[in-house]
Structure 1
Amino acid sequence: MGAEGGRGTDDEAHAPLRPGRVIDGFTLQEHLHQGGMAHLWRVTHPQHVLPLIMKVPRIKGGEDPATIVGFEVEMMIMPMLAGVHVPRFIAKGDFARQPYIVMELIPGPSLRPRLDDAPLPLAEVVDIGIRVATALHDLHRQHVVHLDVKPSNILFRADRSAVLVDYGLSRHDHLPDLLDEEFTLPIGTGPYMSPEQVQFVRNDPRSDLFALGVMLYHLATGERPFGQPTSVSGLRRRLYTEPVPPSALRPELPPWLQEVILRCLEVDPERRWPSAAQLALALQEPEQIELTARAHKRGTAGRWRTLRRWLASVGNEPRATVSAGEQVARNPIVMAAVDVDNAGEELLEQLRETVRRILSTEPGARLACVSVMRTARIGMDQLVDEQGRSHHVRQLVGLKHWARPISQALQLGQGRLTFHVLEAPDPAAAIIDFAQRTQVDHIVMGARANSALRRYLGSVSSQVVAQSECTVTVVRAPSPQP
Structure 2
Amino acid sequence: MSRPRLAKGDTIDGFMVGDLVHKGGMALLYETAHPDRPGEPMLMKVPRLFEGEDPAAIVSFEMEQMILPRLSGPHVPRFVAAAGFERQPYLVMERVPGPSLLPRLQELPLPAAEVAATGARIAAALDALHRQHVVHLDVKPSNILHRPTGEAVLVDFGLSHHAQLPDLMEEEFRLPYGTAPYMAPEQVMGVRTEPRSDLFALGALLYFFTTGTRPFGDPQRMSGLKRRLWRDPQPPRRLRPDCPPWLQEVILRCLEVDPERRHPTAAQLAFDLRHPDAVALTPRAAKERRDGFGEVLRRRFNPEAQPRFRRRDPAAQVDAAPIVAVAVDLTEQPPALAEAMRATVRRLLPTLPGARVACLNVLRTNRVMLDTTLDAEGRNKHAQRLAELRHWAEPMRLPEGRATFHVLEAVSPAAALLEYATVNPVDHMVLGARCRSVRRKLLGSVSGEVAAQAPCTVTVVRPRQVEEDAAA
Would you say the 8 A contact 1:94–1:100 is kept in 2? yes
1:96 to 86, 89, 106: 86
Aligned-pair CA distance for 1:320: 1.9
Paired letter, 2:216:
F
Q: Which residue of structure 1 aligns with residue 200 of structure 2?
A: 210
Q: Which residue of structure 2 aligns with residue 380 of structure 1?
A: none
Q: Which residue of structure 1 aligns with residue 312 of structure 2?
A: 322
Whole-angstrom distance in 1 between the partners of 2:305 and 2:84? 41
Aligned-pair CA distance for 1:108: 3.5
Whole-angstrom distance in 2 between the partners of 1:152 and 1:165? 9
Q: Which residue of structure 1 aligns with residue 281 of structure 2?
A: 291
Aligned-pair CA distance for 1:62: 1.2
Q: Which residue of structure 2 aligns with residue 256 of structure 1?
A: 246
- 1:151-190 to structure 2, matched below 5 A, reads 151-190=141-180
Decide whether aligned partners of structure 1 residues 325 and 24 sit closer, same or farther in structure 2, where only a CA change above 3 A counts. Answer: farther
Would you say the 8 A contact 1:27–1:43 is kept in 2? yes
2:228 to 238, 241, 248: 238
- 1:219-238 to structure 2, matched below 5 A, reads 219-238=209-228
Q: Which residue of structure 2 aligns with residue 133 of structure 1?
A: 123
1:128-153 superposed Cα distances (whole Å, 9 cap, x missing partner):
10100000000000000000000000
User: What TM-score comes out, normalization by structure 2 length?
Assistant: 0.65
* Structure 1: segments with no counterpart, 5+ residues: 1-9, 327-482
Whole-angstrom distance in 2 between the partners of 1:14 and 1:219? 39
1:14-65 superposed Cα distances (whole Å, 9 cap, x missing partner):
4951111101100012111112211110100011242100001111331011
2:271 to 278, 281, 284: 281
Aligned-pair CA distance for 1:324: 9.0
Identity level (%): 57
Would you say the 8 A contact 1:186–1:198 is kept in 2? yes
Aligned-pair CA distance for 1:109: 2.4
SS in 1 for 2:41: strand
Whole-angstrom distance in 2 between the partners of 1:150 and 1:14? 29
Whole-angstrom distance in 2 between the partners of 1:325 and 1:149? 24
- 1:63-462 to structure 2, matched below 5 A, reads 63-312=53-302, 318-323=308-313
Decide whether aligned partners of structure 1 residues 100 and 211 sit closer, same or farther in structure 2, where only a CA change above 3 A counts. Answer: same
Would you say the 8 A contact 2:68–2:79 is kept in 1? yes
Would you say the 8 A contact 1:282–1:288 is kept in 2? yes
1:42 to 31, 52, 70: 31
Whole-angstrom distance in 1 between the partners of 2:142 and 2:315? 25
Q: Mean Cα displacement is larger for which, 99-108 or 202-211?
A: 99-108
Pairs aligned (count): 315
User: What TM-score comes out, normalization by structure 1 length?
Assistant: 0.63
RMSD of Structure 2 on Structure 1 (CA):
1.8
Whole-angstrom distance in 2 between the partners of 1:237 and 1:313? 16
Paired letter, 2:27:
A
1:406-457 superposed Cα distances (whole Å, 9 cap, x missing partner):
xxxxxxxxxxxxxxxxxxxxxxxxxxxxxxxxxxxxxxxxxxxxxxxxxxxx
